[in-house]
Amino acid sequence: MRLKPWQTTWRRLAWTSAAAFLLTGCVTLPEARSVSCSRSAEPQVRVSEDGHTASVEIDVLTYNVEGLGWPARTGRGRHLQAISDHLAELHGRGEAPDIVLFQEVFSRSAARAIGASSYPSLVAGPERNQRRPRRDYSGLPGKRRPERGEIGFRVFSSGLVTVSTFPIVASRSEPFPRASCAGFDCLANKGMLLAEVAIPGVPGTLAVLNTHMNAQRASRVSVRRHNAAHARQVHALSRFLDSGISDQPAVLGGDFNMRSSEQRFEVFRTEQSLEIVHQYCTDHASLCEVELSWDGDAPWMDTQDLQLFSSGGAVTVRPIRVEAMFDGASEPKLSDHDGLRVTYELSWRTDTVVPPPPCSG
């Protein structure tokens, strides 16, 4: 019996989904761990000449490692291991980023390589089966596209992993709500990951957030549909920020999938108040050293990978240096993304009375 076109599509979809599930369904994100405060690395605390202010410098890397498995990618294992090995080499020289936000840790080889990294503290999530919160969302514009990944269940985890040289004293993750994904992105349980990092010598904790948002053309659905999904994810991210950050300093990084999309960017800017590093360093060129190539007046529109920041009640945050990693220049290019590395200065008044970080051991 000859199959009709729609039957062929559904059969191909069924086999591909089943194969992908069998190959990746048992893949879990790396297990959480944390170094104790007594064994943690300690950044150099600088005190101003008048003795009123103290500060430290830390650097944060956000990096989409292209950790996709079959059938989307093949042969990625050696590149993923090379990423882990290179970071370990930098650690040995004292040159590694203090905190790294990884995205697309989907495959078994990706989870193995990132989990075996030289960083003593690690958190990950959401996992594939982590339940998504309900929201009162109607359907997205246009028709549901099962042949484009909208099959009603998740094959992959969120792919989010955060590692740190310093202790991670608490963490929380949350998938994006139901009816807030479009196209092939619906195969992954994308969402948000919060790590509370205790930096020795710094009052309180630093809230470090990691995310990966809905793709544009790669989702293989209409612009209207994938933009609507992205807008819902932006709203969820804003709620997550509001619930996860009280009076803390914060850094947010990830793959925001907003490159060249003014519509997505405008929604993003109206929903949350954190400051984009690219914008700050453009407006304050004398205060922020930029060691990568920026074209045009709005470099934040030329990339998917961004970092944002905000100060807390006791600790002020500002970026002082921006550079690329794994960009094929001074370091190997091992993914379809470059890494974005930002050095921040955290400063506080020495006479400020704040509780110590909730860190023991």
Specify whether the CB–CB gap between 68 and 107 falls below 8 A.
Answer: yes
311 pLDDT higher than 70: yes
The pLDDT value recorded for residue 10 is 42
What pLDDT band is residue 314 in, cutting at 50, 70 and 90? very high
Strand, helix or coil for residue 230: helix
* Global confidence as pTM: 0.92
What pLDDT band is residue 357 in, cutting at 50, 70 and 90? low
Tens-place pLDDT, residues 24-71: 456 899 999 999 988 898 999 999 999 999 999 999 999 999 998 766
Residues 6 or more apart from 159 whose CB is under 8 A from it?
29, 67, 102, 103, 104, 105, 106, 110, 188, 190, 212
Domains defined along the chain, listed by start: 30-349 (3.60.10.10)
Tens-place pLDDT, residues 243-281: 888 889 999 999 999 999 999 999 999 998 899 999 999
**Spatial CA neighbour of 343 closest among 33, 39, 43:** 43
